[in-house]
Amino acid sequence: MDARADRARFTDPYEIDVPPEARFIGEAPYWSRGDTVTWTCRRFDFDRDRAEVRRPMQVIEDGPAGVVLWLPGGTPTTDTRIVGWEDTNPHDVPLRARFGPADSAPRRVGIAGAWRGLGVLKIVPARVPFSVWVLLKPGASAGGDQEFPGTDAGDCADGSGIVEWYVNLEATHRRTNTAIFTSDHILDITFPRASTASGTPASADPHPSDFLHPEAVVFKDVDELAAAARYGMWPAAWSDIIRRNGMSVLENLDHFAWAFDPRWERLAVELAGTGGKAGDRAPSPKQPTTGDQAEPHERGPGPEQPAAGESHRVRGGCYDRDWI
């Protein structure tokens, strides 16, 4: 076992409701390239309303290291909304209303939706509570645009777009023969625009920290994570665990080189530019050997309390142990 794996320790703050036959990502039998499976996101209190996010995704790769899934832009999905705020993005609902205790918490309901943007490639390492997303969006950024030939002009009139690397902190993923299950942990990590698809490192063994610049990341929705504990939606210890998981991702970034391989970016751009049929794409990054995998994580309480002043949105890079 790589010594870095010993430092890559994660915990899940709570169990999620999954079918009894569900197993961990990384365990056989595996899906085949081009299969369609349902990304299923359930809240910690799923049994209250039975509302869940559902996204049909195409399998790019599946094996012991993890699974890679593609969601083309415009794909019909099932989203969730807060009852009484069905026409409002949940992020725009007042924090006190969203994150109240069980006896006053709002109900949730499923609604029809569609994936906005040009698509997302989700890389899910085995047995860790996060996934890596390569997001493709219409528009331009100072860091350089990507050319997405063949994209619909309604999505991106000039054929260019933005590529963003994103870590979604979420429950350790389980799978059935047709679906993947997780639960959103509110806190997310975005990386500064360090490269373009044509400018990412060409090394056969790239180090993610060389091109993703973990020292300058932005932690998203820190205000919501604090509010979940402050207003009683869940215990403060759960928010502590999630903060610690975020730190562990960054402190062990190079250990997860397979998940952060820059070639995923080029593959995502190719998929977005050619209609996104997974079965026809070029080979993806090689799965690491069993000895390179992160060891299974353990459960347990997080030791840290929310940092003072945490409950506002962070607009700039802020990777600081005392902050998150």
The CA-atom distances, in angstroms, between 238 and each of 41, 201, 205, 300, 307 are 18, 37, 35, 10, 14
Whole-angstrom distance between the N-terminal and C-terminal Cα of the chain?
29
The CATH number given to 3-292 is 2.40.380.10
- Express each pLDDT in 134-157 by its tens digit: 999 887 544 444 555 444 423 443
- Express each pLDDT in 245-293 by its tens digit: 999 999 989 899 999 999 999 999 999 987 656 555 545 556 665 444 4
Q: What percent of the chain has pLDDT over 70?
A: 71
Which residue did the predictor score with more confidence, 292 or 82? 82
- Of 37-51, 61-75, 129-143, 146-160, the one with minimum mean pLDDT is 146-160
- Domain assignments of the chain as residue spans, ordered by start: 3-292
Distance, CA of 43 to CA of 289 (rounded, Å): 33
Work out the widest C-alpha separation in the chain, in whole angstroms.
Answer: 54
DSSP 10: -
